[in-house]
Amino acid sequence: MIWNRLNSIYTRKPATAGRRRALGLLALPLLLAASGCGVYSFNGTNIDPTVKTISIQTFSSTAPNAPASLSQRFTEDIKDYFQRNTTLKLVPRDGDLQFEGSIVAYDYAPAAIQQVGVVSQAGANRLTIQVQLRFTNTKNTKQDFEQTFQSQADFLATQDIATVNNDQSSVRNITRNIITDMFNKSVANW
């Protein structure tokens, strides 16, 4: 008798299974409709649907220690990042979203001083890059801003600045952080 009750409990379909299926069928069109609004996307951007174009001027370098190629490489990297992560069309000038600025600091300095006997020496060196950005949103001027973005990385004390400059991936990791921060501030509204 107990066995028959348990068996009937496990073989019966719950009364809510039909309701769950019906709710699932109703939820699908709602999700599809919400995804078509155009304001939110799955990559985290929050771009007004009226914004169609972006212009990114060459970021000049006023940092005296920066390598000559940094300005062009940084500009191309930011263009690539926005093209990969948005559907905005890149135009030479007068885009709905406009980016311009300059690399204002490229500093390589001791980061961790260690005492070796009676001599103090660097245990690591830190490269710090700062980029000044002026962002203009022609569709919503309340989102315009001017801000300095900064990122840094530590290197072995045995690596001098020439070695770091020749290691393109190290410098690119620093600038990639800056580009991500600029992207988040301008189109993800973080």
**Residue boundaries of the structural domains of the chain:** 38-188
| pLDDT score, position 12 | 54
CA distance 97 to 183: 11
Give me the chain's average pLDDT, please. 82
pLDDT, position 104: 98
Class assignment of domain 38-188?
A: alpha beta
CB atoms within 10 A of CB 32: 9
Closest CA to 41 of 189, 179, 143, 141: 189
Distance CA 151, CA 173 (A): 9
Cα distance between residue 105 and residue 113, in whole Å:
22
Listed in order, strand segments (DSSP E) in the chain are: 53-56, 60-61, 89-90, 97-116, 119-137, 145-156
The string of pLDDT tens digits covering residues 67-81 is 999 999 999 999 999
pLDDT, one tens digit per residue, over 50-61 is 999 999 999 999
Give the pLDDT confidence of 14-45 residue by residue, as tens digits: 555 555 555 454 444 444 344 444 444 445 67
Average pLDDT over residues 105-132: 85
- 187 closest CA partner among 37, 74, 87, 67: 87
pTM confidence score? 0.74
